[in-house]
Structure 1
Amino acid sequence: MIAVLLVVFGLTPAYIFPVSADIPVYPNFDPQKTVGKWHPIGIASKLPELTEYDQKISPMDLTVEVLDGDMKITANYMSDGVCKQSALVFKHTDKPGVFEFPDGIAKVMDIDYEKYIIMHKKKLEHESIYLSARGSEVGDDIKEKFKKLVLEQNFPEAHIKYFENVEQCTPKAA
């Protein structure tokens, strides 16, 4: 998901990242139904190694809020032994399930609002697909659906990574 996922982003002009027909977008996506906590399950990247940012943020639990149709995603993560917080705002577009941020575009590919979300994120420098769930685990059927969508987008199967249980943290109030 969301993953994905996580510094404050603004709006990117649509002409930089046109909505491509080859990335499926979940029909009639309702961002309000995504509100709450999500647990990252897996990521697939076009790059052989995850970026340093994805290594830190991707395995962290996420909290989703919806603000005027935009999705604000907050994650707590450990950096140099200190718990920090990062937030990302996906700006809604005129197409449900398609969101923009300064470096790219995000699309909700598939979702069961009570179980899982699969999201594609394309930035200038790379693409990734995220699988997140309401619980800390998903069934093999959902992992197979994730894998199928990843392979349909021509991501190498070897670039699929599932997260182990990662230490979560809560930042201290300032």
Structure 2
Amino acid sequence: MRIALVTTAMAMLLLQEVKADVQPQKNFDVQKFSGKWYRVGLAYDSPGFAPYRSKLTISMGMVDPQSNGDVNMTMWSISRSTGCKSRVYVYEKTDTPGVFSYFSTRHNKVKDITVVDTNYTEYAIVFKFKKMNREYSQVSLYGRTQKLRPEVIDKFKTFSLARGFPKESILTPPAAENCPPSGN
């Protein structure tokens, strides 16, 4: 029991440090960031994530900058029970370019989104943070295509491992079939 408490306390401290050292892309340009992205990698520190690992597929999103500086993010994902569904997230701009916040209706909490690294034409590494009953974080790897160079996948994995994500929590899911349906 004592070891479990020490391990939990150490994990909490590590997560606080994880958020503190995450910096946004230098000179972030939301217009260059707009357009179609595929979430081709994911690292998640929630224990509740484990049962869903094998069910995840690559999802597609559209980043649409608004005139007020906010960003609408439409994401398509597929599940066996509901099929292909889309959700729109409104990422509100902050005072720091490349850092956004949004209100998650699912968790009833505000989450922070930081675009950590992108070359705009091939990949983006995005860090998501939320504080609930404890702090949770997630790293996503986005690509302009569903297949990225091995060096980019390694960069994503190295970034995730450096932030304390266990190796088994880092994945690159398979492609989704026809989601979104052709024509989107």
TM range (shorter): 0.7 to 0.9
Residue in structure 2 matched with residue 37 of structure 1 by the alignment: 36
Residue in structure 2 matched with residue 108 of structure 1 by the alignment: 115
Instruction: Select the residue among 166, 170, 174 that pairs with 2:176.
Output: 166
| Structure-2 change in CA distance of 1:70 and 1:54 (3 Å) | farther
d(CA) in 2 for partners of 1:58, 1:52: 14
Greater relative contact order, per chain length (Cα 8 Å cut-off, separation 6+): 1
2:118 partner amino acid: I
SS of equivalent residue, structure 2 residue 86? strand
- The 4+ residue runs of structure 1 with deviation greater than 6 A are 51-58
Deviates more, 1:128-137 or 1:47-56: 47-56
| Structure-2 change in CA distance of 1:109 and 1:71 (3 Å) | same
Runs (5+) with no aligned partner, structure 2? 1-15, 104-109
Structure with the bigger percentage of helix = 2
1:114 partner amino acid: T
Instruction: Select the residue among 131, 156, 159 that pairs with 1:124.
Output: 131
Residue in structure 2 matched with residue 12 of structure 1 by the alignment: none
Q: For the Cα contact (< 8 Å) 2:93–2:100, is it kept in 1?
A: yes
2:39 partner amino acid: P
Q: For the Cα contact (< 8 Å) 2:61–2:73, is it kept in 1?
A: yes
Residue in structure 2 matched with residue 10 of structure 1 by the alignment: none
Q: CA deviation at 1:149?
A: 0.9
* Alignment root-mean-square deviation, CA: 2.6
d(CA) in 1 for partners of 2:150, 2:114: 23
The total of aligned residue pairs comes to 153
| Structure-2 change in CA distance of 1:53 and 1:30 (3 Å) | farther
Residue in structure 2 matched with residue 85 of structure 1 by the alignment: 86
Q: CA deviation at 1:101?
A: 1.2
1:127 partner amino acid: S
Q: CA deviation at 1:51?
A: 7.7
2:112 partner amino acid: I
Q: CA deviation at 1:50?
A: 2.4
Q: For the Cα contact (< 8 Å) 2:60–2:180, is it kept in 1?
A: no
1:95-137 deviation line (CA, Å, top 9, x unaligned): 1111111221011110010000000001224210000100111
| Structure-2 change in CA distance of 1:52 and 1:85 (3 Å) | farther
1:156 partner amino acid: P
Q: CA deviation at 1:91?
A: 0.6
Residue in structure 2 matched with residue 153 of structure 1 by the alignment: 163
**TM-score of the superposed pair, with normalisation by structure 1:** 0.77
SS of equivalent residue, structure 1 residue 50? helix
**TM-score of the superposed pair, with normalisation by structure 2:** 0.74
Query: Identity over the aligned pairs, expressed in percent?
Result: 30
SS of equivalent residue, structure 1 residue 145? helix
